[in-house]
Structure 1
Amino acid sequence: MSKLPDTLRLQSVVPCSGEVTLPGSKSIANRALLLAALCRQPVVLHNMLRSDDTARMMDALNALGVGLTVDNHTQVTVAGCGGRWKPQQQVLQLGNAGTAMRPLLAVLAATLNDDQQLRLDGDPRMRERPVKDLVDSLAQQQAGISYLGQQGYPPVEVCGGLQAGHFSIDGSVSSQFISALLIALPLLAGDSSLTLTGNIVSRPYIDLTLAMLDDFGVRIDTVSEQEFFIPGKQSLRSPGDYFVEGDASGASYWMAAAAISGGSLTIKGVGKDSIQGDVDFTEVVSRMGADVEFFANAIRVTGGQPLQAIDFDGNAIPDASMTLAPLALFAKGTTAIRNVANWRVKETDRLAAMATELRKTGATVEEGSDYLLITPPERWQHATVDTYDDHRMAMCFALASFSPAGVSINDPACCAKTYPQFFSEFSRLCHLT
C-alpha cells in the first residue's frame, strides 16, 4: 500500500494478530526537537517520528538557524544553539502542528532579542485553533505578541520581552498551553510561578513535559496540583542521546483492533514504564473485555470475549479516548465518552465529526457539549467516512473494517500527520480483503 487512493475501501475477515512496532511519539518528538535546540551541545534523537508535524518543527528550527542533520530516517542530530536564534526568515509556517505552534510561541517570547520579530502562522485550520489563553498569560509579563488576523488566533507576531514573575492560565482548553509555559519560563532571568485554573485537561501531557524537562536538566518544583515554582536562569543540558518512545496514542488503534477482532497483538515501543498517559487506553480495552499484558517495552492485547459498553471519562487522554468511539460500535450496550470538550479545538471539531461519521454506520449517537453516547447499529451499513483532514478520524474508522459491511475512508493519506505507515501496517496485520 505504497500510495493511498483518495478513497480506501477496507474489510477484514480475520483477527488482527502478530507484532507491530510503533513510530515515535509526535508529542515527545516535537518536544525533544525544541529542547535539543535549546541546549548548547548536540543531541542525537533516536526513533524520531518523521511525519508532517515533526517536519513543521524541523523546518521552523532550521529557519531559526538551528543545525539539523538527518543521520537516517529515524535518527536526527540537533546542534543546540542555547536559544540564541539566528533567524533565516521572518515567517514560520507551522501547518496544523499544535505541538509546534504553542511551545514556539512561548519560547520565542522568552528568548528573542529586542531587534528580532517573527511571524508564526499555519494552515486554515490552525487559524481556527485558539491561542488566546496562552497569549493572555504571556502578556501578563510583558511579552511582545500581537495578532495579525482574528483576535485570539494565529497568525501572531512575536518580538520577545517576556519577564519573570507570576503567571496563571486556564487549564481547561489545552495542556499544550501549560507545557509551552513550562518549557519557556526556566529560560527567563528571574524566578517565576505558574498557577493553573479551571478543570485541567490532559494532565498526563503536563507530566510528560515535566519528565522530559528533567531529562534535559531543568528543575521545576511542583508546589501542588495547580501550582509550580520555576527557577530562572536555567540552561538545558544535552543528554547526548535521547530515545523517543513509541506513540502511545497510535497504540490505541492496535489495542482496539485486537479487542474487536479477537486477535492477539504485541505492540512494541511502549511498555510498563512509559511516560505517556495514553498508555492508559489499556484500561479501556481491559474494562470492555480484552486481556492486557505489560512488558518492559511492549504491550500485548488479546481479544475473544464479547465486548461490553463502558462509561469513560476521557479528560486525561482525549486523543486516545477518540479510539473508544469506533470501538463502541462493537460493544453490547451504550458507551459514554465524557468530559472531552477540548475535542472541539483539535484538528477539527472532533465531537461533531465523530458523531456525524458514526451515524453513517447505522449507530445511534447522542452528541452533547462535552460527551458522546454511542449505541451500536442494529443493522450495519457500509459507511463512506469523511476524515476532515484529521489523522485520528482516519485511523479510528479503520476499525469499522471489522464490521459485516466494511468501511470506505476518504483521504486516508491524512494520517501522515503522525503515522504515515498506518494503513500499510493495518493491511499487513488485519489481512484486508
Structure 2
Amino acid sequence: MGNLKIYPNKLSGEVKIPPSKSMAHRAVICAALSDGVSKVTNIDYSDDIIATIEAMSSLGAKITQTTDYLEVYGIKCPENIKANELRNERTIDCNESGSTLRFLVPIATLFDGVNRFVGRGNLGKRPLDTYYNIFDEQKIKYTYKEGTLDLKTEGKLRHGEFKVKGNISSQFITGLLFTLPLLDGDSKIIITTEMESKGYIDLTLSAIKDFGVEIINNNYEEFIIKGNQNYKSRDYRVEGDYSQAAFFFSADALSNNVVLNDLKLDSLQGDKEVIDILERMGLNLKNKNNGLIGAVSGELKATVIDGSQCPDIIPVVSLVAALSTGTTEIINAGRLRIKECDRLAAVTSELNKLGAKITEKEDGLIIEGVKELKGGIEVWSHKDHRIAMTLAIASTMCTEPIILKDYECVSKSYPQFWDDFKNVGGVFDEWNVGE
C-alpha cells in the first residue's frame, strides 16, 4: 500500500454523503432472501458491500451490479431454489467484513450441505462463540481454525429459544433476526445482558419490516419471531451513512466549512449519535442548500462519550476531543479493540504522534485537550479505514504536513473518500519513501 503527503488546508464545499454501509448490507441480504426480483438503489460498492453481495450470491441469489443499482433475484425464486438444491458445498468469502461473516453464518444454515467461511485481515480474530454455543446445543457440525477465518458448518438451524448476550456484538442478534423468520416454527431471542448498539438492531428490524417480515421487539429484552414467513421483493433506496458523515461533521467542529448532503434526518442509525456528541461539545448545526453544516462559536468543550452504542464514530470524535478545552472521557468502548485494528491503541498512538494528549484505558480513553496538532511526521492508518479518514481530518488542524501510510484502506467502506476530501479542499499527493 502507498503513502500520502497531506498538507494542512481548511475544507470548504459540499459532500454527498455515501449510502449507509449498514443499511446496504441489510437491504442486499433481505432482497437476496426474497421470493422475487428487487432493485436496490443508491449503493456504494465498497469492499464490505461487495463481500455481502458475493456471499449472498454464494447462497444462490442472482445479483447483477450496475453503476446505479443492484438487481437481485432472490434465493426463493423458483429457478434459484432448484439450482441451490444441487449444491453440496459452498464457499463464502467475507473478505474483511465482520458484518458479512456474522450475518451470514446463521443464514447459511438454511441450506443443505457444507458452508465454508473464509476471509482475511483480522476477521479470524473476531469471536464467534455465540454461534458455536448455539451449534453445540443444536448438534450442528462445525470446525474452525484459531487466528484465521476458516469455518465450516453443516446442519440446519432449528426454531426455538435462543439466549444471547447483548454486550458482545449486535451482529449476532441481527444474523438470527434475518434467519429465524424463515424456519418452520416460532422462535424467541432472549437477551441475557444489557443490550449495546441498539441502533443497529433498529436498522435490522426496519429493513426486515420493509421487506415484509414481522418481528416483535419487547424492549430489546426479547424478540418474538413467527416462523414460516417470507421476504417480499421490492425496490429499495439506501439512505446516507451517518458513520461516514461523522468525519465531515467533525471537520466542521474543527473550523472547516463542509455542507453534508443526502442524510435522512429521522434516520434510525445509531451513528447519528455523532450529532448529539458534537452538539454537546459546542457544534451548532443549520440547514444550508438542503444539506447540513456545522459551526462552533467559542471553544469546543470536553464531554463524556459512551462508545457502547456507536463504536464506529469513536476514532473521529476522539480527534475532536483532542482539540477541545478540558478532559474528555471515552467509556464503554472495549469493542474497538477487535475491529479492523485495535482502534483504541491506534487512535492513542497516531494522534499522540501529532501532539494530542491521550491516555489509553482498558475500555476507553482519557483525552486532555490541546490547542493544535503539529504534523511534520509519518502516521499510520493501521490498515483501518476509520483511522485513515480520522487522520485525514486531523491534517486540517496540523501546523505541518503529515505522511499517511497505507491510505487506500478507505476502500473498505468509503471508496471515494479521497475524491470527496479533495473536492472540498483537501490537498495531498503520493509520497514515495526515499524521495
Q: Do the two structures share a fold, i.e. TM-score over 0.5?
A: yes
CA distance in structure 2 between the partners assigned to 1:299 and 1:137 by the alignment? 45
Letter in 2 for 1:412: Y
Aligned residue number for residue 154 of structure 1: 149
Letter in 2 for 1:147: T
Aligned residue number for residue 127 of structure 2: 130
Aligned residue number for residue 45 of structure 1: 40
Decide whether aligned partners of structure 1 residues 292 and 163 sit closer, same or farther in structure 2, where only a CA change above 3 A counts: same
- Deviation digits for residues 135-189 of structure 1 (CA, Å, limit 9, x no counterpart): 32354334x24122129x7321122321111001111111111111111111111
Aligned residue number for residue 433 of structure 2: none
Is residue 2:266 matched to residue 1:273? yes
Aligned residue number for residue 234 of structure 1: 229
1:387 is aligned, of 370, 381, 384, to 381
Aligned residue number for residue 416 of structure 1: 411
Structure 1 segment 99-118 matched on structure 2, within 5 A: 99-109=99-109, 111-113=110-112, 116-118=113-115
CA distance in structure 1 between the partners assigned to 2:383 and 2:141 by the alignment? 29
What 5-or-longer segments of structure 1 have no aligned partner?
none
Identity over aligned pairs, percent: 33
1:57 is aligned, of 49, 52, 73, to 52
After alignment, is 376-385 or 345-354 more displaced? 376-385
What is the Cα deviation at residue 353 of structure 1? 1.5
Structure 1 segment 157-172 matched on structure 2, within 5 A: 157-172=152-167
Is residue 2:2 matched to residue 1:9? no
CA distance in structure 2 between the partners assigned to 1:352 and 1:199 by the alignment? 26
CA distance in structure 1 between the partners assigned to 2:101 and 2:33 by the alignment? 16
CA distance in structure 1 between the partners assigned to 2:421 and 2:211 by the alignment? 35
CA distance in structure 1 between the partners assigned to 2:62 and 2:88 by the alignment? 12
CA distance in structure 2 between the partners assigned to 1:338 and 1:386 by the alignment? 24
Aligned residue number for residue 321 of structure 1: 314
- Deviation digits for residues 215-249 of structure 1 (CA, Å, limit 9, x no counterpart): 011111112321111111111111x2100111110
Aligned residue number for residue 425 of structure 1: 420
Checking the alignment, whether the CA contact within 8 Å between 2:88 and 2:114 is kept in structure 1 is no
CA distance in structure 2 between the partners assigned to 1:257 and 1:216 by the alignment? 36
What 5-or-longer segments of structure 2 have no aligned partner?
429-435
Structure 1 segment 64-75 matched on structure 2, within 5 A: 64-70=59-65, 72-75=66-69
CA distance in structure 2 between the partners assigned to 1:106 and 1:385 by the alignment? 39
Aligned residue number for residue 336 of structure 1: 329
Aligned residue number for residue 247 of structure 2: 253
Aligned residue number for residue 92 of structure 1: 92
User: How many pairs were matched up?
Assistant: 420
Letter in 2 for 1:275: L
Checking the alignment, whether the CA contact within 8 Å between 1:272 and 1:295 is kept in structure 2 is no
Checking the alignment, whether the CA contact within 8 Å between 2:199 and 2:269 is kept in structure 1 is yes
Decide whether aligned partners of structure 1 residues 34 and 160 sit closer, same or farther in structure 2, where only a CA change above 3 A counts: farther
SS at match of 1:374: strand
Decide whether aligned partners of structure 1 residues 6 and 20 sit closer, same or farther in structure 2, where only a CA change above 3 A counts: same
Aligned residue number for residue 79 of structure 1: 73
SS at match of 2:254: helix
Checking the alignment, whether the CA contact within 8 Å between 2:324 and 2:371 is kept in structure 1 is no
What is the Cα deviation at residue 75 of structure 1? 0.5
What is the Cα deviation at residue 55 of structure 1? 1.2
Letter in 1 for 2:344: L
Decide whether aligned partners of structure 1 residues 88 and 159 sit closer, same or farther in structure 2, where only a CA change above 3 A counts: closer
CA distance in structure 2 between the partners assigned to 1:355 and 1:199 by the alignment? 28
Q: What RMSD over aligned residues (CA atoms) do the two structures have, in Å?
A: 2.1
Structure 1 segment 366-385 matched on structure 2, within 5 A: 366-377=359-370, 380-382=373-375, 383-385=377-379
TM-score norm. by structure 2 comes to: 0.91
